[in-house]
């Protein structure tokens, strides 16, 4: 905690989400140039949304506000997962890329769900 705000930089979920962003940027740089404003942009925006919304949630004052952004982050993980399958279907990524990305997405989901549940329990103890 720093000045009453949760310090997101030390959160494992935020660190793993940053790793996911790097992975996505790595594989998407090989996408066809005509996808620059299509799937490439979309998949990168979804990836960046994950750690960004975790950070934004940590900067909010109430647990309810924090949870709102953590849920947006979780939604972005599902969006990203779908875009990964689309990239696989279009042969923009390999099966190995899919396996590696899927594992990192699942790790982020697991960590984020735990973080959400932890914050939800804080709401219940206040009631």
| pLDDT by position in tens, the chain (length 127) | 555 545 899 999 999 999 999 999 999 999 999 999 999 999 999 999 999 999 999 999 999 999 999 999 999 999 999 999 999 999 999 999 999 999 999 999 999 999 999 999 988 876 5
DSSP assignment letter at 35: G
Sign (positive or negative) of CA dihedral 78, 84, 87, 89: negative
Confidence (pTM): 0.92
Q: How far is CA 34 from CA 31, 71, 114, in A?
A: 8, 32, 39
Nearest by Cα to 43 from 108, 90, 87: 87
Q: What confidence score (pLDDT) does residue 125 get?
A: 76
Q: What confidence score (pLDDT) does residue 4 get?
A: 53
Q: What confidence score (pLDDT) does residue 3 get?
A: 54
């Amino acid at each position: 905690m720093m000045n009453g705000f949760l310090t997101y930089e030390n959160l494992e979920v935020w660190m793993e989400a940053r790793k996911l962003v790097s992975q996505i940027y790595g594989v998407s740089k090989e996408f066809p140039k005509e996808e620059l404003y299509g799937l490439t942009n979309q998949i990168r925006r979804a990836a960046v949304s994950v750690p960004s919304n975790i950070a934004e949630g940590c900067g909010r004052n109430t647990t309810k506000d924090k949870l709102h952004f953590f849920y947006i982050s979780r939604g972005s993980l599902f969006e990203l997962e779908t875009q990964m399958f689309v990239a696989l279907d279009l042969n923009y990524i390999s099966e190995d890329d899919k396996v590696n990305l899927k594992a990192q997405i699942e790790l982020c989901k697991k960590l984020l769900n735990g973080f959400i549940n932890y914050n939800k329990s804080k709401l219940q103890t206040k009631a």
